[in-house]
Structure 1
Amino acid sequence: MLSFSHVWTYRRAGGQLLSNSLKDADSSLKSAVKPRYLILGSGSIGFALAKELRESNKLVIIVDKDEAKVETLREEGFETILGDISDPELINNIDLKNVVAILFLSSNNEANRKGIENFKKVLNPDIQIFSRSSDIINKEKMEDLGADYVFMPSKLVASSLSRSLERAESVHRGNRLARWLKGIRDKKLAIVIHDNPDPDAISSGLALKEISKSLGVEANILYHGKIGHQENKAFVNLLGIDLSKMEEHDPKDFDEIALIDCSIPGVNNMVPPNSYVGIVIDHHPPGETEIKADYIDIRPNFGATATIMTKYLQQLNINISKTLATALLYGIRTDTQDFKRKTDPADLSAASYLYPLSNHGILDQLEQPSMATETLEVLGEAIRNRQVIGSYLLSNVGNIRDRDTLPQAADYLLSLEGISTTVVFGVTEDRIYISGRSTDIRVNLGEIMRQAFGEDAGGHANAAGAQIPLGVFSATKDRQTLLRLVNEAVVKRFLNAVGVESTAE
C-alpha cells in the first residue's frame, strides 16, 4: 500500500497543473476549499454521485487508491486525494471541519467496514456516515460500527425498477379503463356501490362518474339500503353528492353496470346474482369467489377504494374539483381510520395529493358530527351485553334499525383492556347483521367471518362484516326467544371458526 505521506496531490491554478507535497496541498485545500461531502471510493456509484452533487452546487472531495482514476477525476475538475480508505492514517490528512456526510462507496465490504471504524472514532456526531454493502450480513456489521445509513445497490436497483413497473402498471390500467369507457360512449352506466354505503364507496363512485363524464359516458351512482351513520349523512349533505336509490330505477334503463367498493353481484349490493358486469373496482379481498367482468381492478393491499380512484384521476389527467378531492380524501381517511388501519404507502401518497385540493372547512365539520340517539343506545347495549372469551369480545345488541351503529360499537369496544377482537351483532326484521374489528395480527377477520357465516361475509384482516338471512328463525313469534337463538348461533359459529371454546365471562 502506498504510504499516504508520500502521495502527490495536484490542483489546477491559472490553467497550469502544479504539484506539491501532500502537506502543502492539504494546507492549500483547507484554506481554499471547504468540502461538504467526502466520497471514499470512486467506482461507478461514487463517480455518478459526485457528478450529481456537483451539479447541485455541492462541494465534493473524492478519495481513491487507484492512481489512474484519481488522475482522471482531477482532469474532470474534481478535488481528489490518492489514498486507501481502510488506512487508519487517512483521517489525519483530511479537513473534516465542514463535512456534512462521509460516504464509503467502495465495492470492498472489508475496506468500507475498516473505514467506518477508523472515522467513527474521531468524527463529530453531527457528521452522517453512509456506506455501501453487498449483502445483509455486512450491512448489519456496518450499522453496528456506527454507519447511519447502509444501502445495498441490488436492492436500490430492484426498488427503483419496482416503482417504474408500478408506474407502467398504472398507465396500463388507466388506458384500459379509458378504452372500455370510450367503447360505451353515448350509453348509460349504472355505478353500483355497496349497500348502506360509506364515504369510501360514495367518493369512489363519484370519481368514476367524473371519469365517465370526461369520456362521454352518462353515469348514475346507485345504492341500496340507507345512509344511516350520522357522519355519512353529513358527508353526503355537506358535499351535495347526487346519489339514487336502486329501487327508483329500472335496470333496463342502463346499458352497463360498474361495481365499486364491492365485487360480486348480489353480495352486499342489489345487483341480481350472476348478472353481467362491465367494471369491478374494489379494495376488499374477494376470497375464493371468481370475479367476472370485462375490466377488473382489485387491490387488497390498498386501504381504500378511493385511493385506487385517485390514481386513475391522476393517470388520466382529469381535473379534480374541490368537492371530489374532499370526498376522496375523507373516504381514504375514514376507511384507514386516519391511516392507523390497513394503510399502504399508496394511501398516504393519494392523501398527500388530495390534501391541498380539498375543502378543509367541510373536513373539520365532518370530523365533529353529533352522535345519534340510536348510536348511543346501541353502544350502551353492546357494553351491557358483552361476552368475553379470552381476548375476544362478542356482543348481541338486539333489535336494530341502523346497521351502521354496529361498526361504531365494534370500534369502541376494541379499546377495552385485554381485548384484541370484537364482534357486535344485531337483528332487523329479516336479517342478522354482524360487524367485527381486530388488532390481533394472528387473526384474519375477513377469512374467519367468511368461514363462520358464509359467502355474505368477508372484509379485511382487521375489519369485516357479515349479514345472514333469518331463515327459519323468522318464524319465531317471541322476539326474546329469537334474540336468544341468534345469540347462540352467532357466538357458536364465530368461536368454532377461531377454534376457541365458549366459556364466557
Structure 2
Amino acid sequence: MPPAQKSVDSVKKLKPGYLILGGGIIGFAVAKDLRKNEKEIIVFDVDKARVETLRQDGFNAFLGDISDPTLVNSIDFKNLICVAVLSSDDNANIKAVSNFKPVVSESVRIIARASDGLKKEELVAAGANYVFVPPKIVSNTVVEYLDMMETKHSGNRLASWLEDHRGIKLGIILHDNPDPDAISSGFALMEIAKKYGVSTEILYDGKIGHHENKAFINLLSIPMTKITGVDCYDRYDKLAMIDCSIPGVNNSVPAGKHLGIIIDHHSHGDIEPNAEFVDVRTNVGSSATILTKYLQQMDVTVSKELAAALLYGIRTDTNDFRRNTTSADFAAASFLHPLSDHDLLAQVETPSMSVETLDVLGDAIRNREVVGTCLLSNVGVIRNRDALPQAADYLLTMEGISTTVIFGIMDDNIYVSARNDDIRVHLGDVMRQAFGENAGGHPTAAGAKISLGVFSSAKDKHTLQKLVEESVVKRFLMAMGMESDDDDE
C-alpha cells in the first residue's frame, strides 16, 4: 500500500505529542507551526489527496475517518499533550471529541473547531476544553485592525485641531459629580494639549462626594476648577467635553453651546453629539482608554501620576475589568500598569467609607422592593449622590438579584443609579425608555437625573418621597415589561 494510502487498520500504537484530526487548511497550518516544538506530530484525515500533501511536506500523516470510534485504539497516549480536532465537518468533530474525551488523561487538552456558536456549545458539551470559531476569529481580527485605524485617524484629527488652535485657552468640561474615568481623561487631555501650546483648565459642576474620588484628586494633585455659573464658560476660547457629549445632559453647559472637542464612550441614543472634533466610541469600557491611545499615538510623556490616574479610571469604569470590558481596555491597562505609581493607587483604593454612604446603604437594604429578579429601593433625601452606585453595586450581589435600581432626592432632582448582570437586558436602553433623554448608560450600568417638577409641590417630605417612589418604580418596571406587586393587588 502506498504511503498516502496507509489506513487506520495498519497503524500500530502511534505515540504523538500532538494529535491533529483533520488535515485541511487549518490543520495543515497548525501542524507547520507546531514543528518548532520538536514533538511528534500525527495527522489524520479522510481525504487521500490531503494525506499525500502532508506526507510530501514531511508530516507523519494517515488516512482515517476522525469520527471512527476505533481510531483511539491506534494511539499510545503516554506522550500526548493535545488533541486538535480541526476538520470542517462539525458532526465529525463532535464525534471525535466524544470518542477521545473518555480515554485521554485530565492533563491532555482537547481543542476543537466549530462553524458557529451552536456547534461550539455542542463541542463543549462533548468534552472539548477549548473551541474556536474561525469566522469569529477573522471578524475579531478585522475589527481590531479597523479599531486601530480609527484610533490613528482620530488621533491625527485631534492633533490637527490642537495644532490649528495653538495659543488658545481651552476649558475641559467633565460631567457633573465627575468620577475617576472623567477626571483622569480630562487630566490626559490637559497633558496632550500642553504639547501643542494650548493652555487648559479642567472644569466640573456638582460635588466630589465619594471618599475615593476625593483621595484620587488630592493624592494625584489633579488641578480642577468648580463651575460657579454658566458665565464661567465665556472665559475660554474653546470648550472640550470629556466623558459626556450632550450639553445640558449631566452637565451644566447650556444647550446649544458651541463645542470644540467631544470625547466620550457613552451612548446617547438618537441624539447626535455636535462639535468641531468628535470621538464617541461606545465599543470601549472607559473614556480613559480612548485618551490612553491618544497619549501613545502622539508620543506624549506619561508621568507616573497620569498613568496611575488613567489606570484607576479604567478599572473603576469597568468594575475591575468585569463590566463592558474590551481588548482595548486591557491593552491600555497593560501599557499604563508599569508606568503607574502603585503606592499612590493603594492609598486611593483604601479610604474609609463615609458615615453617609453607610446610611444610604442601610436605607437601601431596609427599603428594598423585589419584583422578580429586580431590586428597587428609595433611599430618600441624600447629600452625596456617589453613594447610590455604591449601594447598587453592593445589592447586586444578593442571591436571586440580577438588576438593582437605587434612587434618592437631592437639589430638586431625583437621581437614579442602576446595575445589571442579566445579559438579556441592556440597562442603558431601559433607563432611557423609562426616564427620557437625561438617562442612559451601558448594558450593565446606567443612571438618570429627573427633575422633581410637579412633585416639588408635595405638602410634606413623606408624601414627596412616596410620590417619587411610586413614579420611579412604575416607570422602570414598565420599561422592563414587568409589574410591581402593588399593580397585582
Aligned pair partner of 1:276 in 252, 255, 258: 258
Q: Which runs of 5+ in 1 are unaligned?
A: 9-21
Q: Which residue of 1 aligns with 2:353?
A: 371
Confirm or deny: 8 A CA contact 1:325 1:357 kept in the other structure: yes
Computed over aligned residues only, the root mean square deviation of the Cα atoms, in angstroms, reads: 3.7
Cα distance in structure 1, aligned partners of 2:3 and 2:94: 19
- Which 10-residue stretch deviates more, 415-424 or 195-204? 415-424
Given the alignment of the two structures, is residue 355 of structure 1 paired with residue 337 of structure 2, yes or no? yes
Matched with 1:327 is 309
Name the residue aligned to 1:484. 462
What is the TM-score of this pair, normalised by structure 2? 0.82
2:152 is the counterpart of 1:175: no
Q: What residue identity is the alignment partner of 1:395?
A: N
| Correspondence for 1:43 among 2, 20, 24 | 24
Deviations 1:166-192 (A, max 9, x none): 322232232232232223233222110
Q: Could you tell me which residue of structure 1 aligns to residue 208 of structure 2? A: 227
Q: Secondary structure at the match of 1:210?
A: helix
Moved more, 102-111 or 282-291: 102-111
> 1:56: how far off?
5.0
Of 66-75 and 431-440, more deviation after overlay is shown by 66-75
Give a deviation string over 1:433-458, Cα, whole Å, max 9, x none: 41322336366554454455544343
C-alpha distance in 2 between matches for 1:187 and 1:297: 21
Return closer, same or farther for 1:379/1:141 CA change in 2, 3 Å cut-off. closer
Q: Secondary structure at the residue paired with 1:247? A: coil
1:304 aligns with 2:309: no
Change (3 A) 1:161 1:58: farther
Asked if the contact 1:403/1:433 (under 8 Å) is kept, the reply is no
What amino acid maps onto 1:293 in structure 2? A
Partner of 2:61: 81
Partner of 2:179: 198
**Is the alpha carbon distance of 1:339 and 1:65 closer, same or farther for their aligned partners in structure 2, counting shifts above 3 Å?**
closer
Structure 1 residues 6 and 195, CA, compared in 2 at 3 Å: closer, same or farther? closer
1:402 to 363, 380, 384: 384
Map of 1:61-460 to 2, 5 A cutoff? 61-64=42-45, 73-76=54-57, 78-86=58-66, 91-109=72-90, 112=93, 115-116=96-97, 119-120=100-101, 122-134=103-115, 139=120, 142-247=123-228, 250-380=232-362, 382=364, 386=367, 388=369, 390=371, 391-398=374-381, 400-414=382-396, 420-428=403-411, 431-439=412-420, 441=422, 445-460=427-442
Amino acid at match of 2:145: S
Specify the SS of the correspondent of 2:406: strand
Alpha-carbon distance between aligned partners in 2 of 1:88 and 1:229, rounded to the nearest angstrom: 62
Q: Cα gap change, 1:486/1:308 in structure 2, threshold over 3 Å: closer, same or farther?
A: farther
Deviation at 1:162, TM superposition (A): 2.7
* CA spacing shift, 1:210–1:373, aligned 2, 3 Å: same
In the TM superposition, residue 492 of structure 1 has moved relative to its aligned partner by 2.9
Instruction: Name the structure 2 match of 1:496.
Output: 474
In 2, the alpha carbon distance for the partners of 1:456 and 1:464 equals 11
Distance 1:360 1:7, change over 3 A: same
Aligned to 1:15: none
Distance 1:335 1:502 in 2: 34
Q: Which has the larger radius of gyration?
A: 1
Structure 1 SS opposite 2:377: strand
Alpha-carbon distance, 1:199 to partner: 1.0
In 1: Cα distance, 2:156 partner to 2:186 partner: 19
2:242 is matched by which residue type in structure 1? I
On the 8 A contact 2:364/2:406 being kept in 1, the answer is no
Partner of 1:177, secondary structure, is: helix
TM-score, normalised relative to structure 1 = 0.80
User: Which amino acid in 2 is paired with 1:309?
Assistant: L
| Structure 1 residues 11-68: Cα deviation after superposition (integer angstroms, max 9, x where no partner) | xxxxxxxxxxx78xx79xx8xxx74223344332222222212245554333456666
Identity of aligned residues (%): 49
Shift of 1:201: 0.8
1:357-410 deviations in Å (ceiling 9; x for gaps): 2222122212221233443444455556x2636344332433x44333443344
Alpha-carbon contact 1:91-1:119 (below 8 Å) kept: yes
Question: Residues 448 and 3 of structure 1: is their aligned pair in 2 closer, same or farther, counting only changes over 3 Å?
Answer: same
Report which stretch shifted further, 314-323 or 139-148: 139-148
Cα 1:194–1:63 change in 2 (3 A) is: same
Quote the Cα distance in structure 2 between the aligned partners of 1:408 and 1:4: 68
Runs (5+) with no aligned partner, structure 2: none
